[in-house]
A and B are shown apart, each in its own frame.
Chain A
Amino acid sequence: MSEIGISDLRTITSLVKENFKMDLGIYVNSYLIRRFRTLTEGKYGTTAGLIAALKQKSISGKEITNLFKLSCTDIFRDPSFWRILKKLLEETAERTRLRIWVADDYSGQELIALLISLKESGLLSKAEVLATARDENILDHIKTGKIPLKSMEQSCSNYRKWKESESADLYQYFKCDESHAVIVPELFSEVKFSVADISGGDIPSGTFDLILFRNVMLNYHLTYQCDLIPVLHRKLRFSGLLATGAKENISRSEIASKFSLINSEEKIYKKIKE
């Protein structure tokens, strides 16, 4: 049986914490169960097999962090969001040199879409972009700029919708091998990459005009989500933008009133109070 019950999950997360100092308690149960199922239905065969491997310390930390890399990439997910963001960034760039933080990334899809958008606005060389991930292993995955070819069909469709042009070709930004599309080095050349555990106070210096944080909080418990919002607020310049996913909601945070929702469909917030 590869069924992972709640008590199994508690055992697994406790062993992961003991072995690798990773706190998985920030994630919702359903998400963790799905991530660990790839191991219980794969290499370790059963839930008991996975627990035994953790107890015997015959499983590596990398195997655990690999679970949290999203293999499915959906560049320009929500094309309408990217159209609005492009305009907002162009307006902001008229006043200041852009500083943008792609926070807690899991796949690189948001970073790639942002860079292409900046490039097409002529802002790539005028913007400072920081991409952070919670773990070195995930960051290394993002830095490769590799997208599985099977994911590209959806991304190309999104790109055409974003451009509102049937002939728009996302592949102009990639070189392909047999299994992957790899981002052209030019796009990544000015990006700063770093590992950052946002809640652990391990956050980048300075403030930002935009924090791109779409669909990251979905996997987290509500209490942890609420812990993150003040951190993100502090890292935004006055009038800076926080982009969350269209179905995410920061209204439960105690400091929600320090933001104004400037686009309710796309959930783009502006910092209006220090």
Chain B
Amino acid sequence: MEFKAVVIGGSAGSFQVLNKILSALPPQFSTPVIICCHRLKHIRSGFVEALAIKSKVEIIEPEDKDPIKRGKIYLAPANYHLSAELGLTFSLSVEEPVNNSRPAIDITLETCANVYKEKLVGILLTGANKDGAKGMKKIKERGGLTIVQDPLECTIDTMPKAAMAITQIDHIMKVEQIIHFLINLDKKAGL
């Protein structure tokens, strides 16, 4: 199976895990990675810059209607919901928070599932609320592959456990396993 995109969700506490994953991706990593991570509404800068220090792949906060391109990592901007649209573009929204969150992981995951269907990998990391669980369910229903960070390794395991409670998750992985999985996935896509 060739996957066309990877979508990752996590709460604010997942920064270290995200940083570890992104910094391990090689510069030629070409599968688009779309990240929705809970963050402070009023701090608009700093997050991308912090992740970019170690990442060898360019990290971007998309603007509204930007195209989704290969070889880029996209991070949902502060205080906007991030959706994927048919035609492989992003749309942003200032609609009501979902699960008390804007950006909401469920929105990003669900819209990516609608666009990429079985060609999508969804990954849910450590987190303290249930945001992302419905999105993972949608990815699974659409035929995509679902992965959660091993709850035993999570600082707070509410988020992956909530997804596991409502969906038959395909893989439960530790961070190192997620890294290996992503690198192998991209190698196959490049064949």
Contacts and interface: CB of A to CB of B under 8 A. Distances in A.
A151 to B, nearest CB: 9
Given A77-B79, A158-B42, A225-B65, A247 B92 contact: yes
Interface in A52-73: 70-72
B92 A6 contact: no
Contacts of A222: 65, 89
Interface in A153-172: 154, 157-158, 161
Interface string A208-225: 000000010111001001
Contact of B107 (A34, A219, A248): A34
A247 B42 contact: no
Range of interface residues on chain A? 20 to 34
B58 interface: no
Interface stretch (A25-33, A87-95, A174-182): A25-33
Contact of A77 (B62, B89, B94): B94
A31 B42 contact: no
A28 B91 contact: yes
A107 to B, nearest CB: 9
Interface of A: 6, 28-31, 34, 70-72, 74, 77-79, 154, 157-158, 161, 215, 217-219, 222, 225, 245-249, 252
Which of A6, A158, A217, A218 has the largest count of B CB atoms less than 10 A from its CB?
A218
B2 interface: no
23 contacts: A28-B91, A29-B86, A30-B83, A30-B84, A30-B93, A30-B107, A30-B111, A31-B83, A34-B107, A70-B94, A70-B95, A71-B96, A157-B42, A215-B94, A217-B64, A218-B64, A218-B92, A219-B91, A225-B65, A245-B64, A247-B64, A247-B77, A249-B64
Interface residues of B, number: 27
A244 B135 CA distance: 30
B187 interface: no
The 8 closest A-B pairs by CB, nearest first: A30-B83, A72-B96, A28-B91, A222-B65, A215-B94, A249-B63, A30-B111, A247-B63
Nearest to A248: B64
Interface string B51-93: 0000000000111111000000000010110011110010111
Given A222-B89, A247-B92, 7 more contacts: A29-B86, A154-B41, A218-B92, A245-B64, A245-B92, A247-B62, A247-B80
B44 interface: yes
Interface in B75-134: 77, 79-80, 83-86, 89, 91-97, 107, 111, 114
Nearest to A71: B96
A34 B92 CA distance: 13
A6 B42 CA distance: 34
A31 B65 CA distance: 13
A246 B44 contact: yes
Contacts of B95: 31, 34, 70, 72
B85 A29 contact: yes
Contacts of A158: 42
B93 to A, nearest CB: 6
B99 to A, nearest CB: 13
A115 B142 CA distance: 47
A264 to B, nearest CB: 11
B42 A161 contact: yes
Which of A158, A247, A252 has the largest count of B CB atoms less than 10 A from its CB?
A247
Which of B79, B85, B89, B94 has the largest count of A CB atoms less than 10 A from its CB?
B94
Contacts of A245: 64, 92, 94
